[in-house]
Amino acid sequence: MTIATRHAPLVDTAPTHARQRPVEEFSSTIRAICGNFGIEPSLRGQGLVAGTASRLHLSRFETAVVSCDAERVMRDARMIRDDPGGHLFLIVQDKGTCRIHQSGKSHLLEPGDMFLVDSAQPSDFVYAGQHARQVSLHLPREEMLHRFGPACTGGLGIDRDDPLFLAMRAVLAKLFIEDAVAAPHLGEALLSLLGAYLRCIETQTGMAEKREEAVLSRALAIMERRCHDAGFGPAELADDLAVSPRTLQRHFSALGETASERLMAIRLDMARARLEAPASRADSVSTIAFESGFNDLSYFYRTFRKRFGVSPGAARPPLSP
């Protein structure tokens, strides 16, 4: 899979032969994974839907992969009353097409496209009886509201021509192929890029200014790649981006933090993931600290305890009896 293209599928591209089953059975599966949605089978389906739905975890996000040939899938006001919307669904069209209606807007999704659905608002997914597959990241709605404000609600198509779209697609693709150690900071990078995109929408910036925002996405990618190097810091990051340190800080101030604070968070999250991983049981705390970009062990212990409330040793799971 090539992660640089927006059309590359996120999940296995082998053909799936979903069995046909009664629409009530498929509705029950969707309800267990995504919440209350109504399924309308196509006329030729005669009350049957060929579909699958499965759940997986990407970073800290519960994620659903849904495939079906329904006429439409909808969520109305009654369903929302019975099942209050607790999430925003970041939908990635992985195969086929779908037209999404929400908040008076209509958006056609083709392979690779993304749409942020608000589960607290009625929505309508139209497949017209054609087989389609979608990946849906479930983002906690209240947390996203607190983090991004109302710009993230009501349904939003992600502009495929925006540089931040390509950055989000690349991070999503890496989430599907990287191991658990990389997942925490990749998940945070995805939210940061989504936040940058929403800020562009909210402030009605033009494309030139949006491209400037892409500096942040490149900065995050470089941080992920070079964070293991203890000699790498904000000055080296600014050099890699060919911007001044002051310009770099301006971009990170939009996230409410400095470049140093973000780099420290990435390194600490990486170290914690290594400490908690059974495969790293034989590695000493000092080895993990140095391989996570720290060259001062006492500083590592101090910052780790400050961020997580426990010492690095206490973060390791107990040995099985």
Please give the structure tokens belonging to residue 200: 């562009």
Distance CA 171, CA 276 (A): 23
Q: Domain residues of the chain, as ranges?
A: 20-158, 193-315
Collapsed DSSP state (helix, strand, coil) of residue 134: strand
The CATH code that applies to domain 20-158 is: 2.60.120.10
Nearest in space to 28 (alpha carbons), one of 40, 20, 36: 36
Q: What phi-psi label fits residue 139: left (phi over 0), alpha (psi between -120 and 50 degrees) or beta?
A: beta
Note the CATH architecture for domain 193-315: Orthogonal Bundle (1.10)
Closest CA to 263 of 301, 239, 227: 227
Indicate the pTM of the whole model. Answer: 0.62
Q: pLDDT tens digits, the chain, 321 residues: what are they?
A: 333 455 677 876 544 557 788 999 999 999 999 999 999 998 776 889 999 999 988 888 899 999 999 999 999 999 999 988 789 999 999 999 999 999 888 899 999 999 999 999 999 999 999 999 999 999 999 999 999 989 999 999 999 988 999 999 999 988 888 766 677 888 889 999 999 999 887 765 455 555 556 788 888 889 988 999 999 999 999 999 989 999 898 888 877 889 999 999 999 998 998 998 887 888 999 999 999 999 999 999 999 999 999 999 998 887 655
φ and ψ at 78, to 5 degrees? -65, -40
Interatomic CA distance for residues 139 and 87, integer angstroms: 5
